[in-house]
């Protein structure tokens, strides 16, 4: 056993990492839709499942969905599939605890077979029920980004 430790190397690794994530042409259409306050999905010609957000492959059928066809305009309303409530903010480490609890839910947009995750707004936690009807609360100025959807509100 060494009696005394001498520090030879003290690495302070500080790496700045910048990444791009290309959404691809299918999601391009989705975000173009959001800019016009519209929700679009696409449909597998084989099993008929409607994906929202859209995607290029149906994993169930191993079917490639053409970019030119299979598009479906969807309403901005849906059904709450599940939810959770948290008193903490994951994105801010300094002020982790928040005053009002955050409500996060998965909503199945009407006419689609998938669910999207977003916030529930203006809703007392004890009123939330699985199966309830909700609709999109659009941002006033849309830019074709996820932030175009503020969250979902009760119908």
* Token representation of residue 102: 């955050």
Identified binder of another protein from the candidate list 3, 11, 129, 131, rule CB under 8 A:
11
Q: Are 150 and 141 in contact (CB under 8 A)?
A: no
| Closest C-alpha among 73, 81, 69 to residue 108 | 81
φ, ψ (nearest 5 deg) of residue 71: -80, 145
Identified binder of another protein from the candidate list 1, 2, 4, 20, rule CB under 8 A:
20
- Residue 114 CA to residue 40 CA, distance in Å, equals 12
What stretch of H or E contains 137?
Answer: strand 133-138
Identified binder of another protein from the candidate list 2, 3, 4, 15, rule CB under 8 A:
15
x-or-dash string of contact with another protein, 52-71, rule CB under 8 A: ---xxxxxx-x-x-------
Residues numbered 129-148 forming contacts with another protein, rule: CB under 8 A: none
- By CB under 8 A, is residue 13 in contact with another protein? yes
Identified binder of another protein from the candidate list 1, 2, 5, 21, rule CB under 8 A:
21
Identified binder of another protein from the candidate list 3, 4, 5, 18, rule CB under 8 A:
18
- By CB under 8 A, is residue 90 in contact with another protein? no
Residues 6+ apart with CB under 8 A from 51: 41, 42, 43, 44, 58, 65, 112, 113, 114
Q: Report the nearest approach of another protein to the CB of residue 17 (Å).
A: 4
SS3 content of the chain, % helix, strand, coil (to 5): 10, 35, 50
Identified binder of another protein from the candidate list 1, 2, 5, 19, rule CB under 8 A:
19
Q: Which residues bind another protein (CB under 8 A)?
A: 8-13, 15-27, 55-60, 62, 64
């Amino acid at each position: 056993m060494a009696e005394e430790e001498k520090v030879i190397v003290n690495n302070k690794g500080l790496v700045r990492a910048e990444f791009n994530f290309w959404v691809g042409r299918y999601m391009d259409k989705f975000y173009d839709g959001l800019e016009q306050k519209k929700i679009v999905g696409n449909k597998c010609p084989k099993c008929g499942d409607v994906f929202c957000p859209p995607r290029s492959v149906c994993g169930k059928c191993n079917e490639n969905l053409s970019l030119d066809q299979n598009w479906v305009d969807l309403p901005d309303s849906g059904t709450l599939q599940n939810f959770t409530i948290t008193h903490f903010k994951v994105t801010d480490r300094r002020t982790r605890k928040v005053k009002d609890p955050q409500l996060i839910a998965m909503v199945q947009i009407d006419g689609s077979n998938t669910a999207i995750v977003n916030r529930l707004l203006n809703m007392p936690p004890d009123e939330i029920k699985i199966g309830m009807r909700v609709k999109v609360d659009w941002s006033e100025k849309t830019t074709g980004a996820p932030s175009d959807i503020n969250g979902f509100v009760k119908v």
